[in-house]
Amino acid sequence: MAPLKLPGFRPLAFAYTVNELGNWLGEIALAVLVFNETGSPLATAALFLGMQFLPALFAQGVVARVEVTGTRIGLPAIYATEAVTFIVLATLVGNFVLAAIVVLAAFDGTLALAGRAFTRAAAAAVLNPHGQLREGNALLNIGFTAAGALGPLIGGLVVAGFGVETAFVLNAISFFLAAITLFAARSVPSVKAEPERWWSRLREGLEYVGRRVVLRRLLIVQAAAFVFFSAVVPMEIVYAKETLGTGDSGYGFLLASWGIGMVAGSVVFAAARRISLQPLLLASTLAVGVSYLAMSAADSLLFASLMAAVGGIGNGVQWVSIISAIQGETEDAYQARVVGLLELAAAVMPGIGFVLGGVLTEVLDPRASFLAAGAGVVAVSLAAVPLLGRMSWGAVGQPRADTTEAPATAPAGGHVGAAQSSGAPRISVPG
The CATH number for 296's domain is 1.20.1250.20
Separation CA 259–CA 240 (nearest Å) = 16
Higher pLDDT pick, 345 / 328: 345
Average pLDDT in the chain: 77
3-state secondary structure the chain: CHHHHCCCHHHHHHHHHHHHHHHHHHHHHHHHHHHHHHCCHHHHHHHHHHHHHHHHHHHHHHHHHHCCCCHHHHHHHHHHHHHHHHHHHHHCCCCCCHHHHHHHHHHHHHHHHHHHHHHHHHHHHHHHHHCCHHHHHHHHHHHHHHHHHHHHHHHHHHHHHHCHHHHHHHHHHHHHHHHHHHHHCCCCCCCCCCCCCHHHHHHHHHHHHHCEHHHHHHHHHHHHHHHHHHCCCCCHHHHHHHHCCCCHHHHHHHHHHHHHHHHHHHHHHHHCCCCCHHHHHHHHHHHHHHHHHHHHCCCCHHHHHHHHHHHHHHHHHHHHHHHHHHHHCCCHHHHHHHHHHHHHHHHHHHHHHHHHHHHHHHHCCHHHHHHHHHHHHHHHHHHHHHHHCCCCCCECCECCHHHECCCCCCCCCCCCCCCCCCCCCCCCCCC
Whole-number pLDDT of residue 375: 94
Whole-number pLDDT of residue 157: 83
Q: What average pLDDT does range 133-137 have in this prediction?
A: 76
Q: Is residue 257 part of a domain?
A: yes
161 neighbors 25 (Cβ within 8 angstroms): no
Whole-number pLDDT of residue 111: 83
Whole-number pLDDT of residue 197: 61
Q: Is residue 112 part of a domain?
A: yes
Q: For the segment 28-41, what is each residue's pLDDT rounded down to a tens digit?
A: 888 889 888 888 88
The pLDDT-based confidence of 191 (bands split at 50, 70, 90) is: low
Whole-number pLDDT of residue 405: 41
Q: Does the pLDDT value for residue 334 go beyond 80?
A: no
User: How much of the chain, in percent, has pLDDT values that exceed 70?
Assistant: 81
Ranges 32-36, 138-142, 328-332, 407-411: which has the least confidence? 407-411
The pLDDT-based confidence of 294 (bands split at 50, 70, 90) is: very high
Q: Does the pLDDT value for residue 57 go beyond 80?
A: no
Q: Is residue 421 part of a domain?
A: no
Q: Is residue 60 part of a domain?
A: yes
pTM for the predicted model, two decimal places: 0.67
Q: Is residue 194 part of a domain?
A: yes
| Domain count within the chain | 1
Q: Is residue 419 part of a domain?
A: no
Structural domain containing residue 181 = 2-403
Q: What average pLDDT does range 62-77 have in this prediction?
A: 72
Q: What average pLDDT does range 18-29 have in this prediction?
A: 81
Higher pLDDT pick, 202 / 166: 166
Q: Is residue 423 part of a domain?
A: no
Whole-number pLDDT of residue 192: 59
Work out the number of other CB atoms within 10 angstroms of the CB of residue 131: 11
The Cα-based distances of 377 to 178, 233, 394, 422 in angstroms read 35, 14, 26, 22
User: Which residues does residue 395 pair with via DSSP β-bridges, in sequence order?
Assistant: 398
The pLDDT-based confidence of 421 (bands split at 50, 70, 90) is: very low
The Cα-based distances of 283 to 135, 255, 377, 414 in angstroms read 21, 22, 11, 35
Ranges 95-109, 261-275, 382-396: which has the least confidence? 382-396
Whole-number pLDDT of residue 185: 78
The pLDDT-based confidence of 289 (bands split at 50, 70, 90) is: very high
Q: Is residue 416 part of a domain?
A: no
The pLDDT-based confidence of 428 (bands split at 50, 70, 90) is: very low
Out of 42-56, 123-137, 310-324, the most confident range is 310-324
